Amino acid sequence: MIFDQKSKQSFQETWLTRFSRLMARLVPDAISTSIFLLAFLFIVALGIGNTLTATLDAYYRGLWMLLPFTMQMTLILVLSSVLGATPLFKKIVLALSRKPGTAFQVIVVSVLLAAVLSYLYWGLGLALAPLIAIYFCTEAERKGIEIDFPFLLAVMAAAVSVWQYGLSASGPLLMATPGHFLEATTGIMPLRTTIWSPAAIFQVTGFTFALIIAARVLKPRTSQPISQFPDSCTLAEPARTSETRIAEDGQDGGEHNYSERLERNRIISAVMCIALLSWLVYHFWIKRASLDLNSLNTFLLLLCFLLHRNVHNFSQALQGAVVSCWPVLVLYHLYAGVAGLIQFTTVGESFAGLLASVSTKYTFPLLTAIAGTVVAVFVPSSGGQWVIQGYVTARAAESVGVTAQCGMLALGVGDQMGNLLSPFWAVVIAGIARIDFRKFFGYSLIFALLWFVLGVFAFTFLPC
């Protein structure tokens, strides 16, 4: 009987499941990968004529250039996890997770929810999509619906891709701002010609629905329920209602000393909320500044204090949330050193220039996307990638007879392709979900191919 059961499970395994397991065995951890990339690019930089001193200097300049970005990303991950621990957020996601009655409905609702959050702001999608997968898988298992947790986590990671042409798209927002670094070359690019162009809208909507269909077709026949991942399960503990929390705080309030009562006093949190809200008003309405990482973190911090109601609840959630941020604390700096070799030597420009020299009107989006993919594997910032490749891409677009907008949007296809191929962002998502990234990384490669094919088609044949 044991042999028959194992044979049946082996037979039921799809090629995608076997591929995912193969990748889990072959793909090294993210720190090892960053070291391999460092050695490879160091050799390439020397091989194309950069001196040893210049190459070492490029690495030194890059190694610590992401210190502010690292802290910003750390806060996004931690504060988003704290927000995910609030009763209100849990109640909303739990309410949505209880709606689906079939595996396909679980996929549809979770993908749409993650895509909408990502379109609004990439940080929200990145930080909250893993929590959505956890809640939906927990509820599905309770109902007896078979959902493979690593697979749905990979689907959520792919759904985040729509941010590339969403309201927080780095390159398009930069190019729509007067005084940007390429204004003399490209002029100002209104958003209607970039993220709201027909090609970009097609990519966002087309990929979302294609992802839903692909997830339905490729769903593993034998599932690993979330109960097999205890660390992830702890994040899906049922939320207490606000009334319950208030009652508990009130019932045992007399048992606390003076300082502990202050921690549970809502007035303290209210003061913090007023200060943070004042900063946001100044930022958006007085300075007329746009949404950026600092304003997003301020908004998240405001929501965390507001929804947790007091400092005690916020601190308790914060202690659990810091577990999610460990991957980025050192890894960003290792990748920054790799990025420095590309940005401060001739490696990046030489590679992009080579591809541009062999482009035609119809091959330009494909070759630009390929160049973007290669660079994005090493450079973890979309804005940084556009700074590196923007000038070459814009000039190459002009030489082959397409718009600079087409070049930038095609580069976005490659950027996200690189994000999905690199273990860098998978480690971030895995840190939030408390799972080994190699458990779902193989699935992500399939969805990366889907993103790439649709994107190249859109920016080759549709207006942009």
Which is more confident, 60 or 427? 60
Calculate mean pLDDT across residues 70-84.
80
Kindly state the percentage of the chain with pLDDT values over 70. Answer: 85
Please provide the DSSP assignment of 174-222 as one string: HHTSTT-TTHHHH----GGGTTTSHHHHHHHHHHHHHHHHHHHHH--SS
Which is more confident, 88 or 130? 130
Calculate mean pLDDT across residues 40-46.
92
pLDDT, tens digit, 9 for 90 and up, residues 254-292: 577 777 788 888 899 999 999 999 999 999 899 887 766
**Is residue 442 predicted with pLDDT exceeding 60?**
yes
According to the model, what pLDDT value does residue 387 have?
Answer: 64
290 class by beta-carbon count within 10 Å (0-12 exposed, 13-18 middle, 19+ buried): middle
**Is residue 90 predicted with pLDDT exceeding 50?**
yes
Helix (H, G, I), strand (E, B) or coil at 381: coil
pLDDT bucket at 295, cuts 50 / 70 / 90: confident
Q: Which of 22-31, 159-168, 355-364, 404-413 has the lowest mean pLDDT?
A: 22-31
pLDDT bucket at 68, cuts 50 / 70 / 90: confident
Distance CA 268, CA 455 (A): 49
| Count of C-beta atoms within a 10 Å radius of residue 286 | 8
According to the model, what pLDDT value does residue 294 have?
Answer: 81
**Is residue 240 predicted with pLDDT exceeding 50?**
no
Mean of the per-residue pLDDT values of the chain: 83
